[in-house]
Structure 1
Amino acid sequence: MKMKFLVVLAALITLSLAASIRDEPSFCHGLDCPKYTVTRKIDDYEERQYEPSKWVGTTITSDSYSQATEEGFKKLFDYIEGANKDGIKIPMASPVAVKIVPLPQGQSNYTVLFFVPFAYQSNTSIPTDPTLSIASLPALTAYVGQFGGYMSDKVEQEETTKLKNAMTKYGVQFVQQYSFAAGYDPPFRVIGRHNEVWLIGA
């Protein structure tokens, strides 16, 4: 009887830990993050099913990922600091995601996005900056490559290409017109940084 109890207890602990990992990954560092379930994992990528979510974003046309991200971040940080119709401070969430849509002549449209914390998802304050808007993403399938260090133009391009090559190798269909990059850490965090690139299932 005691052995059976221990087996059941171990199973419950395992399920609890799994739910915890699914709902709040360690790389979110206690901040609100989009909810997802891992449905498949292969060496080169992770397949995730994301729940619907709301973000605040701004689009910047540039030939530099780093420049566009820095410019967009400043605008979005002002928004959560009170540059919104309600004049409220909104907690930082994670990640800062960037939708990348390549354009001719080497430029791209970079849509820099802040995830809206759960307490504000159903009643998101409108930005006062007209270049910012609220974006609602539907439930979606994402193929995710994960890596450490600092994101840069070169790293983003290399990691996205690496993920696309993996998708092609495994015969996975994905949206070709754009990709996402996501960062989960502030600049001052040097060790244990976590970054991702996403391709969306077609």
Structure 2
Amino acid sequence: MLPLLPLALHLLCQGVSAQWSRTPSTCTDASECLSYITVCRDSEYETRDSEPSLWVGTHVLHTEGRYRAKARLTEYFNKKNRPGIQIERTAPILTLYTSLNGDPRPMAVFFLLPRRFLLNPPLPRDELVYLSHAPGQVLFVRPAGALLFRLERKAQELFEDLLRQRESFLRDRFYVAEYSSPLRLFGRRNEIWYQALGAPLCAARYGRTL
């Protein structure tokens, strides 16, 4: 992944330490999902502190689409790795978007690796596939709809909400997080993520200690 912020937050709520959500409500179609603590939530977006994680990624080439990039990572999960092991499905699948002439363009795709591989991951056999460690990070999250239509508008809405709240975040990129299995036809879960820079202001607004 692109540079991620190493920020470990410990949320205290009513005197009880919050715990990582190992099976968050978004995790319905995968054996393992990215764990996080919900720092604060309002009608516009949710702020999360996610755990350190390991991802396998690939760039979206100019000559191909996002689905070919996803196919390379699927091949890695399907034994195209050293030592040639099958890896169970995880969630979310992340696509990094940046703005090109005002239009969002997919730049890279990432699959989450199971926690057991944090210290000793299978190595890619495809030179276009690479491993990426992500330290703990704070994310601003908004639902993106079931079919990922109008991504630009939905990302812009979250962008403007964060500006109104005077949150500090990386403004030149966002992520689309896909949680649902490709076989799921209804009730699909997708999200827009922006990455925070520093501690979120919403924690202070809600009177919470980080």
User: What is the CA-CA distance between 1:105 and the residue it aligns to?
Assistant: 8.3
Tell me what 1:163 maps to: 158
Which residue of the partner structure matches residue 100 of structure 1? 97
What's the offset of the Cα at 1:24?
Answer: 0.9
Which residue does the alignment assign to 1:180?
A: 175
Aligned residue in 1 for 2:204: none
Distance apart, 1:106 and its partner CA: 5.2
CA contact (8 A) 1:184 1:193 kept: yes
Q: Greater shift after overlay, 101-110 or 69-78?
A: 101-110
Gaps of 5+ in 1: 1-14
* Dislocated runs of 4+, deviation >2 Å: 101-109
Alignment of 1:114-125 (within 5 A): 114-125=111-122
Give the root-mean-square deviation of aligned CA atoms.
Answer: 2.2
1:190 maps to a residue whose letter is L
Are residue 41 (structure 1) and residue 41 (structure 2) matched? yes
* CA positional deviation for 1:147: 3.7
Which secondary structure does the structure 2 equivalent of 1:90 belong to? coil
Name the counterpart of 1:112.
Answer: 109
Gap change, CA 1:81 and 1:182, over 3 Å in 2: same
Higher relative helix content:
1
CA contact (8 A) 2:99 2:105 kept: yes
Structure 2's unaligned 5+ residue stretches are 1-15, 198-210
Amino acid at match of 1:56: V
- Mean CA deviation greater in 76-85 or 107-116: 107-116
TM-score normalized with structure 1 length: 0.81
The alpha-carbon deviation at position 100 of structure 1 amounts to: 1.5
Equivalent residue, structure 1, for 2:66: 69
Given residue 181 of structure 1, which amino acid in structure 2 is its aligned partner?
Answer: V
- Number of matched pairs: 180
Larger Cα-atom Rg: 1
| TM-score normalised per structure 2 | 0.78
The CA distance in 1 between the partners of 2:61 and 2:80, in whole Å, is: 23
Shift of 1:49: 0.6
